[in-house]
Structure 1
Amino acid sequence: MNQNYNTSKQPPVVDRSTWQAKLDVLRLREKAHTREGDAIAAARRRLPMVEVDSSIPLIGPDGPVTLLETFEGRHQLIAYFHMWHTGRPAAEQCEGCTFSTTHINELSYLNSRDVSYATFCEGPYEESSRYRDFMGWTVPWYSVPQDAADQLIVDRHFGILVSYLRDGDKVYETYWTTGRGNERMAPSYGLLDLTVYGRKEFWEDSPEGWPQHWGSKGGQFQMDGRPTAQWSRLAAGRSDDLGT
């Protein structure tokens, strides 16, 4: 499954002082980028919010629960709305959602800041939870019935990342994003951006001759016809049978 990338094109070799001088110039741009991100986050914290029915029903491992209960007693909740293709095998499930969800496995830091995290999956609980188990994901997992989806999604689509605030028994939506806004879930991209060849995706502005293999329509999250992260699970002997 390893790709044979042509790495014959490489940056020029210079002495360390020349290299450090170039890096110092770039560092100024990086720091400005960080400060702009801080300013955007500050503006995000000043957005108004919209009330959401806290009794919206979802399905968890022990049966029906309300949106309010998914907060697990904390005041804030981040929910990722995972796409699901009902009745299809694991290999045909959403590669982008698999990419994003695979990166989320340690919640203690969020929890220590009074924030819960949950996956709200589009599909039937029994079917989608088998996929969760196959992938080895441990985050709280809920199925969203269609009538609940209509209330939570509101003219959007699954694949969104949503922030909620609880005030007593009332729930408010404070922010949402999707597409490249979801990249904050996946540190793999941030790490790839630090490398000389980047993500190797066609849209990137890279020097001529740099290896670029991946598109941006979902194929960048697949390898040999499956979501990339599934291969290590299969190699470990896990079953991808979803009971469909």
Structure 2
Amino acid sequence: MTDQENRTADRASALPAVADRATFQAELDKLRVREKAHTREGDAIAAARRRLPMVEVAADLELTGPDGPVTLLEAFEGRSQLIAYYFMWHHGHPAAEQCEGCTWVTTQVEELSYLHSRDITYAVFCQGPYEASRRYRDFMGWDVPWYSAVPSQDVLLVGRHVGMMHLVCYLRDGDRIFETYWTTLRGVEAMDYSYALMDLTVYGRQELWEDSPSGWPRVQGTPADHVRLRSNGRPIPQWSRLEAGRSDDLTPRP
């Protein structure tokens, strides 16, 4: 049997109980109470986030962009706020061995006009050299602003684990810049919609840590295998790029 046939067979025995419409709706109504409480708590957490103090960051910290060195201030593109995603980078490794987690979340961020309408710039600050990482961005077909944070990443991520994914929010007051919030690991799921949609389905994300009924399908392999975000040795969305004829050669051109 093919992998798809095996998955279909596994799921044939993993089914919720069947109920009539009235029973189904009654159970959903009970769950809706918890969902609404979760939404209200999320709103309360966001309100607390807006009341955090902020810390000043040097506006002249150097990044590398398409035309060479730029400052952190210039990365704002004239807007008052900046959201920067610090993309992990495995220096000297081919595209297939780049971070599947960073590829996952960056693939989700496409339309920036809604952010721009609120005076927010979004950009990727890659923790690797500009030329090789830009070629990865081009291979993936991403249009988001892209910089290398290497010249200043130890200062930009002071007190944190350089080399790990981070999502950082900044505020500009004239020519002064302040950091207002940062998160990492599962906090970067704020960028994702695929997992959010999976969470609505009966089988969820199908990950090992989830609390699901016995027999529910799971992504096979240990968490260390990263299989949930990889397929046949590559981050999942790379395969469609290869099929479209794009080169995943990251070697900088002379």
TM-score, with structure 2 as normaliser: 0.93
Bigger shift: 216-225 or 31-40? Answer: 216-225
Residue 216 of structure 1 and its aligned partner are, at CA, apart by: 3.7
Amino acid at match of 1:154: V
Identify which of 206, 214, 221 aligns with 1:200.
206
Residue 61 of structure 1 and its aligned partner are, at CA, apart by: 0.7
| Structure-2 change in CA distance of 1:2 and 1:188 (3 Å) | farther
Amino acid at match of 1:184: A
Amino acid at match of 1:232: S
Where does residue 157 of structure 2 map in the other structure? 153
Residue 219 of structure 1 and its aligned partner are, at CA, apart by: 2.9
Give, in whole Å, the separation in 1 of the partners of 2:223 and 2:204.
Answer: 14
What whole-Å deviation, never above 9, does each CA across 1:29-85 have from its counterpart, x for those lacking one?
A: 000000000000000000000000010000111111000000000000000000111
- How many residues are paired up? 243
Identify which of 90, 98, 106 aligns with 1:93.
98
Where does residue 176 of structure 2 map in the other structure? 170
Residue 87 of structure 1 and its aligned partner are, at CA, apart by: 1.0
Give, in whole Å, the separation in 2 of the partners of 1:197 and 1:2.
Answer: 17
Give, in whole Å, the separation in 2 of the partners of 1:243 and 1:149.
Answer: 23
Where does residue 35 of structure 2 map in the other structure? 30
Where does residue 180 of structure 1 map in the other structure? 186
Where does residue 227 of structure 1 map in the other structure? 235
Give, in whole Å, the separation in 2 of the partners of 1:180 and 1:84.
Answer: 18
SS of the residue corresponding to residue 142 of structure 1 reads: strand
Give, in whole Å, the separation in 2 of the partners of 1:154 and 1:62.
Answer: 26
Residue 2 of structure 1 and its aligned partner are, at CA, apart by: 6.2
- Write out aligned runs for 1:55-204 (5 A): 55-146=60-151, 148-156=152-160, 157=162, 158-204=164-210
SS of the residue corresponding to residue 179 of structure 2 reads: strand
SS of the residue corresponding to residue 249 of structure 2 reads: coil
Where does residue 53 of structure 2 map in the other structure? 48
Give, in whole Å, the separation in 2 of the partners of 1:124 and 1:150.
Answer: 14
TM-score, with structure 1 as normaliser: 0.96
| Structure-2 change in CA distance of 1:51 and 1:202 (3 Å) | same
Give, in whole Å, the separation in 2 of the partners of 1:145 and 1:195.
Answer: 40
Amino acid at match of 1:155: G
SS of the residue corresponding to residue 247 of structure 2 reads: coil
